[in-house]
Each structure stands twice: as structure tokens, then as C-alpha cells.
Amino acid sequence: MNGSTITPAVTAPPGGGGAMPRSQRAHASVPQFTNSPTMIVMVGLPARGKTYISKKLTRYLNWIGVPTKVFNVGQYRREAVQTYKNFEFFRPDNEEAMKIRKACALSALKDVSIYFTEDHGQVAVFDATNTTCERREVILSFAKENGYKVFFVESICDDPEIIAENIKQVKLSSPDYVNCDKEEAVADFLKRIECYKVTYVPLDDDRDRNLSYIKIFNVGSRYLVNRVQDHIQSRIVYYLMNIHVTPRTIYLCRHGESELNLLGRIGGDSGLSPRGNRFAAGLGKYIRSQCIPDLKIWTSHMKRTIQTAEAVGTTYEQWKALNEIDAGVCEEMTYEEIQEHFPEEFALRDQDKYRYRYPKGESYEDLVQRLEPVIMELERQENVLVVCHQAVMRCLLAYFLDKSADELPYLKCPLHTVLKLTPVAYGCKVESVFLNVEAVNTHRDRPVNVSVDRDAEDALVTVPDHI
């Protein structure tokens, strides 16, 4: 039923569990299988994708509800040493620099500790080269002292083309090289890599046999996985094995305007309005004009998305997981009717739209769990068009654009607008394409007054117009 009035006892944590209380918030739909906090420790020469992996993994973990943060030692170094001169800083015989670099690492570790103990973090990604046994020993001791689990992610790559591409994409624009010309920057960076190579000791199958780690070879053509300890490490491995770096585009849009949209009613399973049909035709045209090779099209099981996809003319796959959020007892009501029949529920939803679950329905938080297999498969795929629904699209968008749980339910996903997402550098480029067919606005902003005692006028002030 609903989670907002019945609060089952959040039960006592099992024995142990380090510094953190086990997080089973009353409304979460899936147990958070994390007891001890976990440190993910990146390992690898520069330009092997460690920061790319760190950021992407962090974005994924946060999206599924595991509080995660990246600690990039390079940033600490840039703080400590305001201007970067050249690769000489990284020479293994540069004693002064070595001292600074070690201090930066320790400072980052201290912040990891604070993140776990004071900020309720669950996973910390320690993003640095960590290429020597000695450095890894320091980290392991630190973790052991504090009761943190450690999982190493090592990226190994010898393909000079991949390295060159990485340098081009993310190093040239780094603050370190802000005043250099391209060729100089590349030359310097390559020498920087050589400095690390001298002392690089990869994780060893024998010596490190008791550690938990994954080695990624050549951007994912091969993996070596050792001693996965728990659920979160297993999920991390699965995620890492599904992501790729092949250029591709993801198109997100909603179904065309539906009959119920016109009436200002939520949910249901109605068909497209005449304008919705025009949008569907326009979508078909747009997609064909994009000349996308091998485009996969995904819809939900609801009539309005399928009708929309039909107009594109190619085969599509239906996912029940892409169905709109279930509004439970409020299905097919207008916001005015919800205010009339369930004023308290309506206010509670405005108080915490992410976690609020409709009576006999779902919350955004439930949606995220439901959509996780879709995200996983989107990561595996290349060019995909996803025709879905407002709340669903907000969830997917929040994943790609790294939006927080607070922002997610208020992301703007208007009808008849296609969002074109292209991975670039460490993030995602978004282009919004309005297909020039008018539609109602279905976006309801958070009103100022969210108190359960508010009057109807205050509650309905942000409801968009409808018939």
C-alpha cells in the first residue's frame, strides 16, 4: 500500500557494521545491502580512463541510491601546487614533489573518512594512479584501521591509439595545460606517463591473490575478477562489464500528447490525441532525417508510446519497465480531483516528491529500481530511441545528467520534444529538439506552500492548464 503513513519499524542493524548505521530507510523499495563503507581504489597509468570510470561509476551508484563520491588526488595536487610547470614534477626522483604528492593522497584519505563518518557516504572512489605497492599498502592499512572494505579497479591499456584519443579528449583541456599549445601538451603528457611507468607495479595474480579487484584490459575486451566480497562489489563488476566507449547517441522522448493529457488527467492507458498523432508522424520524419545506423527503438507497454513508435515505421521493443509511474488510487484523476479527495496525500507528495509513494502505487524511488535494467541495457547498446513517459523520462535523464534525487522529479520533460544525448569527455551533451507540434504542458512545479493544512488554492497554484 502506501509508505507514507505506515512506517514499519526500521529494524536494528545487525552486529557490527562499522561506523555507519545500516541504511534501510522506511520507504526504500530495495534493501541497501551495504554494511561497511567501501573504498573503490583506481589503479593505472595516466590516460587509462580511471577518472572516466570513477565518474561514471559514481553517477550510477548515486542514481541507484548508494551515496558515492569521487576523491580525485590530482585535484588535491592542483590545490597544493597552484601552477603546473611540466612533467618534471612527476619524476620519481623529485623528492620535494613526492612529499607533496604523498601529502595530497593522505589529505584525500582524510576526506574519505569524513565522508563516511559525517556525511553518511557509503562508497568512496579513490581516483589516483596508485601504481605502486607501497601506495596501495598505505590505502589498505588506512581502510583496515577504519573498517572499510577495499575494491581495486585497475585499467590496463597498451593501445597507443586509445591513449592518444584519451589525451585529446580530456587532458588537453585540463587546468594543467591551460596555457599550452596542443603539441606541447601532448608531448609533456606522454613524458608524464613515462615517469609513472618506471615504478608501475600492476596488481599481481599471485602476490595480490587475497585482494578484491577487477582488472580491465583494453577498454573492456577482457576482465580479470578476483574475490568479489559482497553485493555492491558484484553490482560494480556487472556495471563495469556492461559499459563501453563506442560513440553513439541516445534519444529520449515522451509519447505524443494523449487524450488524458488534454484533460489534465494523470496515468491511465489512453491513445494519442490528434496533435499527438501529428507528433508521432513528425518523430518518424525526424528520426529518418537523422540517418542513424542500427537504431533500436524501445517503448513501454502503454498504448500511447506504442502508437508513437508505430509512426516511426521500424521495429520496436516493448518494455513493461518503461511504463509510467503507477499513481495507485489517483490513476486517471486530475490534480484538482486529487486535491479534493486526497488533500493530505497531495501535500505529502509536494513535501518529498522523490520518495512519496502513491497509495497502492509507486514512488520515483521505486521507478529508479524498476528502470535499472533499462539503464544497464542502454549502457550495452549503441543508438537507441526511448519513447516513454514523463516520470520515467525524468529518471532516465537524471541518470545521464547526474541529477540528484531532489532535482529529479522536477526535471523538465515537455511533450513533443526529443532530447538527444551524446557522451562526450566525462559527461553527456544534451540537445533539445522541439518537433513543432503544440501540446499541453504537463509540468507541475513545486508550490510554495507544502503544508498539509494548506488550502486548495495554494495547492493548485502550479497546476498547468487543461480542458
Q: Does the footprint of other proteins cover residue 285 (CB under 8 A)?
A: no
Count other Cβ atoms within 10 Å, centred on residue 395.
28
Q: Does the footprint of other proteins cover residue 241 (CB under 8 A)?
A: yes
- Between 207 and 227, CB nearer to other proteins: 227
| Contacts (CB under 8 A) with other proteins, residues 161-190 | none
Q: Does the footprint of other proteins cover residue 227 (CB under 8 A)?
A: yes
Total site size for other proteins, rule CB under 8 A: 54
- Between 302 and 421, CB nearer to other proteins: 302
CA dihedral (271, 276, 279, 281) in degrees, to 10, reads 50
Minimal distance in Å, beta carbon 401 to other proteins?
24
**CA triplet 312, 318, 324: central angle to 5 degrees?**
100
Q: Does the footprint of other proteins cover residue 231 (CB under 8 A)?
A: yes
Q: Does the footprint of other proteins cover residue 226 (CB under 8 A)?
A: yes
| Contacts (CB under 8 A) with other proteins, residues 33-92 | 33
Give the chain's radius of gyration (CA, Å).
25
Interface map 363-402 toward other proteins (x if CB under 8 A): ---x--x-------x--x----------------------
Q: Does the footprint of other proteins cover residue 132 (CB under 8 A)?
A: no
Answer for which of 116, 319, 342, 354 binds other proteins (CB under 8 A) is 319
Active centre residues (catalytic): 127, 157, 255, 324
Q: What are phi and psi for residue 464, nearest 5 degrees?
A: -70, 160
Q: Does the footprint of other proteins cover residue 225 (CB under 8 A)?
A: yes
- Interface region with other proteins, contact rule CB under 8 A, candidates 42-50, 51-59, 89-97, 224-232: 224-232
Q: Does the footprint of other proteins cover residue 115 (CB under 8 A)?
A: no
Q: What are phi and psi for residue 4, nearest 5 degrees?
A: -90, -20
Answer for which of 120, 207, 301, 341 binds other proteins (CB under 8 A) is 301
Q: What are phi and psi for residue 127, nearest 5 degrees?
A: -95, 100
> In the block, which residue shows the cell 494519442?
272
Answer for which of 114, 164, 224, 425 binds other proteins (CB under 8 A) is 224
Round to whole Å and give the CA distance between 63 and 61: 5
Strand order in the sheet with 250-254: 317-318, 296-299, 384-388, 250-254, 417-424, 427-434
Interface map 252-271 toward other proteins (x if CB under 8 A): -----------------x-x
61-to-143, 242, 289, 357, 407 alpha-carbon distances in Å: 20, 14, 36, 22, 17
Minimal distance in Å, beta carbon 367 to other proteins?
11
> Would you say the C-alpha torsion 321, 326, 331, 336 has a positive or negative sign?
negative
Please name which of 300, 371, 334 lies closest in space to residue 465, comparing C-alpha atoms. Answer: 334
Chain centre distance of CA 257:
28
- Between 11 and 289, CB nearer to other proteins: 11
- Between 188 and 366, CB nearer to other proteins: 366
- Interface region with other proteins, contact rule CB under 8 A, candidates 54-62, 143-151, 300-308, 428-436: 300-308
Residue 450 DSSP SS3: coil
**DSSP for 148-194?**
-EEEEEEEE---HHHHHHHIIIIITTSGGGTTS-HHHHHHHHHHHHH
Minimal distance in Å, beta carbon 271 to other proteins?
8
Minimal distance in Å, beta carbon 45 to other proteins?
20
- Between 225 and 245, CB nearer to other proteins: 225
> Would you say the C-alpha torsion 289, 292, 295, 301 has a positive or negative sign?
negative
Query: Is 195 in contact with 92 (CB distance < 8 Å)?
Result: yes
Answer for which of 189, 286, 298, 354 binds other proteins (CB under 8 A) is 298
Query: Is 260 in contact with 270 (CB distance < 8 Å)?
Result: yes
Residues that bind other proteins (CB under 8 A): 1, 3, 6, 8-9, 11-14, 24, 28-31, 33, 221-228, 230-231, 234, 237-238, 241-242, 269, 271, 277, 280-281, 298, 301-303, 306-307, 310-311, 317-321, 331, 360, 366, 369, 377, 380
